[in-house]
């Protein structure tokens, strides 16, 4: 059985990568809660949080800190929600961590709702956001 998460993390399917290393691939969510919503996926198949090895866990944490700084720099959110849904709530059946810029008085309940219409960000907007985030990350790294 093919894993959608493995295909995304290893770029067998098109994704808007903003950062990657040997262990993780970080790219824009195609259904963003807000602009700058990023997913961190492990490159090797891992299903749940408790299956992470030390190197991969360290890489996830390092990437989440770097991406949080870049998101704050670009979008000036009031906060960032970082979440990982495990078990039956892991819709990709592959480990992934969401980094979601958030703003005051914005309900997060719809993030967990399947009742809303599916919203897929326009390709040109994703490309622009990707380029802006990659630039911010590059400036943070050097």
Query: Does some domain include residue 74?
Result: yes
Residue 111 has pLDDT above 90, yes or no: no
Query: Does some domain include residue 87?
Result: yes
Our count of domains for the chain comes to 1
pLDDT in tens, 71-110: 999 999 999 999 998 888 888 899 999 999 999 987 766 6
Residue 21 CB contacts under 8 Å (≥ 6 apart), including other chains = 59, 62, 63
CATH code, 15 = 3.30.428.10
Which residues constitute the domain of residue 75?
4-105
CA pair distance 22, 44, nearest whole angstrom = 10
Q: Which residues lie across from 19 on neighbouring strands? A: 26
Query: Does some domain include residue 101?
Result: yes
End-to-end CA distance of the chain: 41
Residue 88 CB contacts under 8 Å (≥ 6 apart), including other chains = none
pLDDT at 125: 86
Query: Does some domain include residue 83?
Result: yes
Mean pLDDT of the chain: 89
Query: Does some domain include residue 21?
Result: yes
Q: Which residues of 98-113 are buried (b: 16+ CB within 10 A; e: fewer)?
A: bbbbbeeeeeeeeeee
């Amino acid at each position: 059985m093919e894993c959608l998460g493995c295909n995304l993390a290893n770029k067998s399917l098109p994704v808007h990568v903003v950062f990657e290393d040997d262990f993780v691939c970080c790219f824009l969510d195609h259904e963003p809660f807000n602009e700058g919503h990023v997913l961190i996926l492990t490159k090797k198949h891992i299903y749940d949080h408790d299956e992470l090895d030390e190197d991969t866990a360290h890489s996830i944490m390092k990437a989440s800190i770097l991406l949080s700084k870049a998101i704050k720099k670009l979008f000036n959110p009031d906060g960032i929600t970082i979440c990982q849904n495990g078990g039956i709530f892991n819709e990709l059946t592959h480990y992934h961590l969401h980094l979601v810029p958030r703003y005051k008085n914005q309900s997060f309940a719809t993030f967990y709702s399947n009742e809303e219409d599916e919203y897929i960000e326009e390709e040109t907007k994703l490309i622009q956001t990707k380029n802006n985030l990659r630039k911010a990350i590059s400036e943070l790294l050097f």
